[in-house]
Homo-oligomer: A and B are copies of this chain.
Amino acid sequence: MDRKDVGILAMDIYFPPSCVQQEALEAHDGASKGKYTIGLGQDCMAFCSEVEDVISMSLTVVNSLLKKYKIDPKLIGRLEVGSETVIDKSKSIKTWLMQIFEESDNTDIEGVDSSNACYGGTAALLNCVNWVESNSWDGRYGLVVCTDSAVYAEGPARPTGGAAAIAMLIGPNAPISFESKYRASHMAHVYDFYKPDLASEYPVVDGKLSQTCYLMALDSCYRQFCNKYEKIAGKQFSISDAEYFVFHSPYNKLVQKSFARLYYNDFMRNCSYVDDDAKEKLQSFSNLTGEESYQSRDLEKASQQVAKHLYGIKVQPTTLLPKQIGNMYTASLYAALASVLYNKHDSLNGQRIVMFSYGSGLTSTMFSLRLNNGQHPFSLSNIGSVLGVTEKLQSRHETLPEKFVETLKLMEHRYGAKDFETSSDTSLLQPGTFYLTKVDSMYRRFYSQKPAEEIGGGKTKCCNGFANGH
């Protein structure tokens, strides 16, 4: 069986129709003007209403991907999920998704859920690619799902929420393939962001520590990535060797800092593209210790300034969805990848994209993708049109901050609760979207699907069955 160019064949994204403008949230929170829009670099934030959760979103996106790319569910041989939104501490989200495949009598599907903060989706993706390259591969497709709802307690972290689910089909001869040897990880034990209060959906966050950990992990991965590249390719790696850099995006400001940090690394490594003007501007920071360099505001400002032009070319096109949706945890990095695929699909042939995945706690990996136009339906242009980012963003419903806050209050009571029914209000949902109808006295969750347009005003389909404890 052919195993060349294993990678991402197809992709789809789902995010909730409800969103709140960061500018409106600033005003509502009494924050200084620009604190969220410029300070964080965010435009808008999506959030789950009481009829949606990480399970419904992943049911929706898997169903949608299979339909839009006309994939027979029998052809899936592996399905894995990355998520840090825990609805059940034992039963994986993957098992809920099996409902889609049980209908086609396909239960021989490996894979479970991978978890470490925002990194779980990358773990799932790397696992799936490895499977296709291993002796265990049976010729079928892999399917990776990243699904998360990021919500924070009232306070400075609240505007860094978001929600989305992304599905990616994995196999050989992919338009987005892995350069598997160019990959470096940095993993360590830290308490920068974690969820030890099990009854609460909210994390414990040390924002400043988390940002430093992110940049330290970025440095460590980049250093090792460059070393490996140079060993294999026989020449130095610098940011001029990739057309795009895609970063995990808790908020856009950190992405700006991250790219500038890579530029600073390249300056310190004496990379040839760094011109005299930039050298002059960064010279005074060349003697900083590592720790000092993470704390220096002046370095931050100077490096962002010299990297600004390249940021516009190599990073800006990746930031569309993360700025519009917010932090999607495991889905954030892949929403950024989706953004550049959507924005640039007609010019990506032969190009390289470097990805940086970060999950607090911490786990991080830098890896490299190689693009080619591909063959329909697994072509970059088809992926771009299936993603339909503009239409999806335009069809959203802007919510007032009061309504957003009210929803989060309600969800504080609903999280981990049993024996309740939702409003089943699907007015904002697109046809074909799955939604939560109730959680019974045994905590069992019931979902329905809003009829797809082609079915017309038909009956709402229920997605349960054996699951109901028969």
Contacts and interface: CB of A to CB of B under 8 A. Distances in A.
A91 B136 contact: no
Interface in A74-113: 79, 84, 86-92, 94-99, 101-102, 107-113
A467 B191 contact: yes
Q: Interface extent on A, as a size class?
A: 35 or more
A185 B98 CA distance: 12
A194 interface: yes
Interface of A: 6, 79, 84, 86-92, 94-99, 101-102, 107-117, 119-120, 123, 126-127, 129-131, 133-136, 178, 180-181, 183-191, 193-199, 203-204, 206, 209, 220, 224, 359-363, 365, 415-416, 418, 442-444, 465-469
Given A90-B117, A114-B113, A198 B196 contact: no
Given A95-B362, A112-B123, A123-B111, A89 B195 contact: yes
A209 B97 CA distance: 20
16 contacts: A90-B117, A91-B117, A91-B195, A91-B361, A95-B189, A107-B188, A112-B114, A112-B116, A112-B120, A112-B359, A129-B136, A133-B136, A134-B180, A189-B466, A196-B418, A197-B443
A83 to B, nearest CB: 10
Nearest to A194: B91
B442 A109 contact: no
Given A116-B94, A195-B91, A188 B466 contact: yes
B108 A224 contact: yes
Contact of A443 (B110, B188, B196): B196
A84 B90 contact: yes
A90 B205 CA distance: 11
Contact of A180 (B126, B136, B185): B136
Contacts of A89: 84, 86, 89, 195-196, 198
A440 to B, nearest CB: 10
Contacts of A90: 84, 115-117, 193-195, 203, 360-361
A180 to B, nearest CB: 4
A442 B189 contact: no
A415 B197 CA distance: 10
Contacts of A119: 112
The 5 closest A-B pairs by CB, nearest first: A196-B443, A92-B116, A91-B361, A89-B195, A130-B134
Contacts of A467: 189-191
B194 A108 contact: no
Contact of A107 (B91, B113, B186): B186
A135 B418 contact: no
A110 B364 CA distance: 9
A418 B198 CA distance: 11
Nearest to A467: B189
A95 B363 contact: yes
Contacts of A120: 112
A443 B198 contact: no
A134 B136 contact: no
Given A86-B89, A198-B86, A116 B95 contact: yes
Contact of A133 (B135, B185, B187): B135
A188 B102 contact: yes
Contacts of A188: 95, 98, 102, 107, 466
A134 B123 contact: no
Given A107-B220, A111-B123, A416-B199, A91 B191 contact: yes
A250 to B, nearest CB: 13
A155 to B, nearest CB: 15
A112 B112 contact: no
Contacts of A111: 123
Contacts of A136: 126, 129-130, 133, 178, 180-181, 183
Nearest to A227: B108
